[in-house]
Amino acid sequence: MIEWFARNPVAANLLMMTIIVVGCVSATRAIPFEVFPSFEIESVTVSTAFRGATPNSVEDGITGRVEQAIFDLEGVKEINSRSSEGLSTVVAKIDEGYDKREILNDIKLRIDALNSLPLDAEKPVVSLSTFNAGVIQVAVLGDVPYKMLRLTADRVREELLSHPSITLVDLLGVTP
């Protein structure tokens, strides 16, 4: 075959040009471009809002109970938690060799079975953790009530999303 291409340079050049054109078209259409791609981490997050509660109340009323409910699950290798004002976050790291979807379902079952959470607490949200490296962070601060800050942050978020080049804006540090 090499001998045939050596005797027919036009065919070899046409084949090379075809490969280059198909490669360029495929690269621009089939491959999504992301500066900082997001990916799932091998962990499950349980977030629970408890509006107006102090960190100690969140720890005693929610975080400790969630930890107790999931600490003995097979496939959970480590549990990290954070209790802040009005929000409990528990992250369960998944051991290698375990299916993260199965662990997610097991954790959901255990969390749904909890009946000792405070009545004022919202329903816990159980999800697979994802990592999305941000490009920029914008802080909304002010000496105004929380509700006003939240409305302003929502407005800033909507304005940013209206720009055609911006596809993702997350609000951090807010209760749902």
Q: Could you read off the pLDDT of 57-106 as tens digits, one per residue?
A: 999 999 999 999 999 999 999 999 999 888 999 999 999 888 889 999 99
**pLDDT at 36 (0 to 100):** 62
Q: Give pLDDT, residue 14.
A: 92
Q: Is 28's pLDDT higher than 80?
A: no
Given a contact cutoff of 8 angstroms between Cβ atoms, the answer to whether 48 and 117 are in contact is yes
Considering only CA atoms, which of 143, 150, 140, 138 is closest in space to residue 175?
Answer: 150
Hunting for tokens 């954790």 — which residue is that?
Answer: 107
List the Cα angle 93/98/103 in 5-degree steps: 60
Share of the chain above pLDDT 90, in %: 38
List pLDDT tens digits, range 99-115. Answer: 889 999 999 999 999 88
CA-CA distances (angstroms) from residue 169 to 15, 101, 176?
45, 26, 15
pLDDT at site 24 = 84
Dist CA 98 CA 74 (whole Å): 9
- Report which of residues 118 and 172 the model is more confident about: 118
What was the pLDDT predicted at 33?
62
Contacts of 11 (CB under 8 A, 6+ apart): 4, 5
Backbone angles phi, psi at 97, to 5 degrees: 90, 0
Tokens, residue 83: 């209790």
Name the band, by pLDDT with cuts 50, 70 and 90, for residue 168: confident
Q: What is the pLDDT of residue 46?
A: 94
The predicted model gives 4-24 an average pLDDT of 89
Mean pLDDT in residue range 32-47: 74
Closest CA to 41 of 2, 80, 6: 80
pLDDT at residue 5 in the model = 79
Q: Give the C-alpha distances (Å, rounded to integers) separating 79 from 56, 72, 94.
A: 19, 10, 9
Q: Which residue has the tokens 């990592």?
A: 131
Contact, 70 vs 110, CB < 8 A?
A: yes
Q: Which residues share a beta bridge with 126?
A: 46
Tokens of 34: 């992301």
Residue 176 confidence (pLDDT) above 60: no
